[in-house]
Structure formats: structure tokens, C-alpha cells
């Protein structure tokens, strides 16, 4: 779904700011839901970082450079606050672009607290299957995780992914 005029900043949409924001919010919500469902069903596409980054540049780069946020990490809740603000300003994209933007932010810029984040965030950020995320939750309910060594001990956790993402993993 594309809302507004092409070119320039999208908040001067012919549909008006409220309609553009509502359409973006609906599209964004649908794209995120589809991405989570696909991941949890085990049918998620192999992420193509180049295509995901291109989508980020296409959607976010209409009004500002991506350098504004590419080195910032935040919780998924905080990123959703940012997305809501951009929606109000009229940001837009196709369903595929929104799904790729979602994947990019989850896989590259989202912080996760192993001891408090929900299963879907654990799965995305840690790059594990849903059943492994559930095992992490069961383990933390018995005893909170204190470090990466303990997290690596959970069967199904990819140590290479943990090493790559360790700066975004909180305990």
C-alpha cells in the first residue's frame, strides 16, 4: 500500500495528514503481523540485509538520511514510538517495504532484554526459533540469565549470532 504523492516528504500528501497516518499505521501493523506470523510458523524468508536496508532507505530516506538512526539501538517498544511519530508525519511504503523495514530494525537495531522481553522479540533479535525463545522464557522464570555464557547453553541458540548481536543483548 502506498499513500500520498511520490517524491518529496510524504506528509504533504494529497490525502491529508490524518488519512495518510491512518493508512500507514494500518499497513505497518499488517506488515509487522505478517512478518511475526511468518517467522513463528518457521516459513520466514531468509533475510537479505541488502534488500532490507534498501527498503529502510526508500521508506525512511524520503525525508532524512538514514545516518540519523543507523547507529542507534532501542527497545522494540521505543522503535514503535518512532514509527508512530513518522506515521504522523506521513511516512509511507509498500507492504513489502514495511515488512523489510520491520525485519531490518528487529535484526539490526533493536535491543532485547533476555530476562524480560516477550518471545517474539527474543526470536527476532536473537535469531532463534519460537520454541527456543519459549525455552529461554522457561529458563529465566526459574533463574534469570546473568550473561552470554548462560544464554549460549540453551539448546538451539546460535553462538555466532549471539556474538554478532551481543551489543544489543541486555540482562
User: How confident is the chain (171 residues) per 10-residue block, as mean pLDDT?
Assistant: 36 42 50 47 56 96 93 95 93 94 95 98 97 98 98 97 96 97
Beta-bridge partners for 113 = 170
* Residue for grid cell 527474543: 122
Q: Is 122 helix (H, G, I), strand (E, B) or coil?
A: helix
Contact present, 12 and 90 (Cβ < 8 Å): yes
Q: How open is the CA angle 5-55-46, to the nearest 5 degrees? A: 145
Query: How is the chain split into domains, by residue range?
Result: 10-108, 112-170
Q: Whole-prediction pTM value?
A: 0.70
Q: How far, in Å, CA of 95 to CA of 107, rounded? A: 18
Phi, psi (rounded to 5 degrees) for 128:
-115, 160
Amino acid at each position: 500500500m502506498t499513500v500520498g504523492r511520490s517524491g518529496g516528504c510524504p506528509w504533504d500528501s494529497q490525502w491529508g495528514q490524518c488519512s495518510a497516518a491512518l493508512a500507514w499505521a494500518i499497513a505497518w501493523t499488517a506488515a509487522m503481523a505478517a512478518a511475526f506470523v511468518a517467522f513463528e510458523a518457521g516459513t520466514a524468508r531468509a533475510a537479505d540485509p541488502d534488500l532490507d536496508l534498501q527498503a529502510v532507505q526508500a521508506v525512511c530516506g524520503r525525508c532524512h538520511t538514514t545516518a540519523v538512526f543507523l547507529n542507534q539501538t532501542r527497545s522494540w517498544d521505543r522503535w514503535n514510538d518512532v514509527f508512530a511519530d513518522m506515521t504522523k508525519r506521513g511516512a509511507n511504503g509498500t507492504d513489502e517495504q514495511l515488512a523489510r523495514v520491520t525485519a531490518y530494525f528487529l535484526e539490526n537495531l533493536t535491543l532485547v532484554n533476555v530476562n524480560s522481553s516477550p518471545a517474539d522479540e527474543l526470536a527476532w533479535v536473537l535469531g532463534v526459533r519460537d520454541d527456543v525463545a519459549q525455552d529461554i522464557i522457561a529458563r529465566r522464570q526459574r533463574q534469570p540469565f546473568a550473561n552470554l555464557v548462560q544464554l549460549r547453553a540453551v539448546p538451539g541458540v546460535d553462538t555466532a549470532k549471539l556474538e554478532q548481536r551481543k551489543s544489543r543483548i541486555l540482562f
